[in-house]
Structure 1
Amino acid sequence: MVAEQLFGVVPNFSDGRRADVIDAICRALQVPGAHLVFRQADPDHNRLDTTVLGDRDAVAHAALSGARVAVALIDMEHHTGGHPRMGAADVIPFMPVRGVTMDDCVELARSFAKELATSLDLPVYLYDRAALVPERASLAEVRKGEFEGLRDAVARGERLPDFGPHALGAAGATAVGAREPLIAFNVYLDGTDEESARAIARRVRTSGGGLPALRAIGFLVPERGCVTVSMNLVDHEVTGIVDAFDAVAREAAARGLRITDSEIVGLVPEAALGDGDIARVRLRGFDADRQVLERQIEGAR
């Protein structure tokens, strides 16, 4: 593929446990012109994280194809897992990779959202840079209350979707967005004190007066018998992986909690790993060949 223009899309699906469902979704993402460069199924979060690179039409086709399978196979009425979620095809953000502007991604996200809602009869919300209303720029605000809370709110005529039916069925709803590439970084703590994890997240994130360019939530991971502080590093040059780890470590120590390990979910720019202290963040399962963004870009050319 000649990749003068390279878009990325990072669909997250609400199944990380059933191998047949995971494989079916991943097969559906592999359409002509699109490259599935990353997949990670997390049984604790019960979530599948994927990344697809390609031209504009290819990534849109891939995302629609994957969503179609997810909607058919995932029933949110029976879904459990540690990660916040509101739909089978939970979030579908588009991002610029090479030769693409954010405006290009916003336009693509908005047109894709309409197509997704129409094709799959699915409630769709636009978020981040693609949001049509300011309060929906925050994914946490869109997903507030998760599937159950959003379903009930929409039934009351509140928090209606931007596109699609004004009711949530078994497949829930989907958030479609446009954003810059970010780093998803989770730090795991021993014990099951969920309130402490939430308090740590509030302290370290930007909105709580913590580190700049950092979003964070804390929640229980019952399958592992621990809690996690799940973070998005919006700009690793402002707040890096080690910075985020150290901030969580300080807050955890103040509460008598111990960090067990951490993980990077999805792709990461090579420059974000350049700090010599990266070894001390206790990364679990990191594979540079699979997860360094630049290596995947070269493979998609």
Structure 2
Amino acid sequence: MLKLMLACCKVYISESRNKAALKSIEKAASLFPDVPIVNKFEDEIYNRVGYTLVSKLSPNGSCSLKNASFAMVKAAFETIDFQEHCGTHPRLGVVDHICFHPLGATSLDLVADTAKSLAFEVGSNLQVPTFLYGAAHQEGRSLDSIRRELGYFRPNSSENQWRGGTEFETLQLKPDEGPARATQAKGVITIGATRWVDNYNIPVFTNDISIARKIAKKVSGRGGGLPSVQSMALTHGGGTIEVACNLLEPARIGGDQVQLEVEQLAREEGISVGKGYYTDFSEEKIIESYLKLVQHSD
């Protein structure tokens, strides 16, 4: 298995309620049978869906993964109007974020080349401002730094809701590909390449967003907490706020450690938490699921 040259692509789309749009996006992906959707994670409150695709990668970096992801992006822009979006998860565009990860024996440089190639196509063919990050960016710019520059973490509506459309058309940060102006119907897109990242969300039982934000900050590396952990507090309805975490080095700091830390911080605030959950399979499970799907299709 270690000799396998595979690449993974995670496509996050700012929509989960428009089932016809999701059907069109998935139909576009199905035209590339060698690039199966290994996992799909929907959250109607966040109004967001994440797709995980996997493909073989040749030694020169060519694969169908870029073509499949481009087809999904194109279908998303054709079926979703960003101005109609509303949810409790932040977003920058119809297709909010795409990340490529190397699997098996694949190098990070190879998937970075794939990410850059996709960014060029999205920027030039679809005319959407496109920002590169991680290994796909020449200076290794981080995803969260782009998001901070573009106001990603600030709700733009009441009750901690994010509505579609951007507050600005002429972008303060120059995109790496595509026009310097964003349209209200599409927004912008971020595309990058990194080592594997786990996403782990923990429900905190409170309606006080300020307390949840305090916990989220304290558990993060940025706030002096666990190294390689990024986190934010997101309203999730029913008296629950989630501490949503990106685990940038899951082999070093995993979900169990984050869970214990959030539980301790919550106790100090006099509130309780529920058991957290991953929004995707582990890296090993992704490879295993891909191999089963390929064998079944054969």
Contact kept, 8 Å, 1:196 with 1:255, in 2: the verdict is: yes
> Which residue is 2:200 aligned to?
185
Distance 2:119 2:95 in 1: 12
* C-alpha distance in 1 between matches for 2:33 and 2:118: 18
Q: In the aligned structure 1, how far is the partner of 2:213 from the partner of 2:28?
A: 36
Name 1:17's counterpart in structure 2.
Answer: 17
User: Cα distance 1:43–1:150, how it changes in 2: closer, same or farther (>3 A)?
Assistant: closer
Check if 1:171 corresponds to 2:210.
no
Deviations 1:168-198 (A, max 9, x none): 1111111000011111100011122112121
Amino acid at match of 1:142: I
Distance of 1:225 and 1:74 partners within structure 2: 30
Task: Tell me the CA shift for residue 133 of structure 1.
Answer: 4.5
1:241-279 superposed Cα distances (whole Å, 9 cap, x missing partner): 110100111111111221134221012145xxxxxxxxx
**1:40 match:** 41
Instruction: State how far apart, in whole Å, the 1-side matches of 2:109 and 2:75 are.
Output: 29
**SS of equivalent residue, structure 1 residue 40:** strand
1:22 and 1:41 in contact (8 A); partners too? no
The 3-state SS of whatever aligns with 1:259 is coil
**Displacement of 1:149:** 10
Picking from 279, 286, 290, the partner of 1:293 is 286
Aligned pairs (5 A) from 1:51-62:
51-55=52-56, 56-62=62-68
Partner of 1:82: 88
Q: Identity across aligned pairs (percent)? A: 25
- The whole-number CA distance in structure 2 between the counterparts of 1:197 and 1:138 is 24
Residue number among 188, 207, 211 corresponding to 1:196 in the alignment: 211
Shift, 1:119, TM fit: 1.6
Query: In the aligned structure 1, how far is the partner of 2:230 from the partner of 2:97?
Result: 16
More helix by percentage = 1
Aligned residues: 274
Residue 102 (structure 2) aligns with:
96
Structure 1 distance, partners of 2:231, 2:192, is 18
- 1:12 Cα shift? 0.5
State the alpha-carbon separation in 1 of the partners of residues 287 and 70 from structure 2: 25
> How many Å apart are 1:123 and its aligned residue?
0.8
Alignment check: 8 A CA contact 1:153 1:159 kept: no
SS at match of 2:187: coil
1:285: which partner in 2? none
Shift of 1:73: 1.6
Give the conservation status (yes or no) of the 8 Å contact 1:189–1:261. Answer: no
Contact persistence 2:259–2:275 (CA under 8 A): no
In structure 1, the gaps of 5 or more residues are 271-291
Q: How much does 1:294 deviate?
A: 3.7
Tell me if the contact between 2:93 and 2:164 (Cα under 8 Å) persists in the aligned partners.
no
Letter in 2 for 1:236: P
Q: TM-score, normalised by structure 2?
A: 0.85
**Equivalent of 1:213 in 217, 225, 228:** 228
Q: Which amino acid aligns with 1:80?
A: C
Which structure 2 residues correspond to residues 132-151 of structure 1 after superposition, within 5 A? 132-133=138-139, 137-144=141-148, 145-146=151-152, 151=166
Measure, in 2, the Cα distance between the counterparts of 1:122 and 1:79.
17
Distance in structure 2 (CA, Å) of the matches to 1:153 and 1:178: 27
Q: 1:59: Cα distance to partner?
A: 0.7
Cα shift at 1:37:
0.6
1:124 correspondence with 2:130: yes
User: Compared with structure 1, are the counterparts of its residues 9 and 269 closer, same or farther at alpha carbon in structure 2 (3 Å cutoff)?
Assistant: closer
User: 2:194 is matched by which residue type in structure 1?
Assistant: R
State TM-score, norm by structure 1. Answer: 0.85
RMSD: 2.1
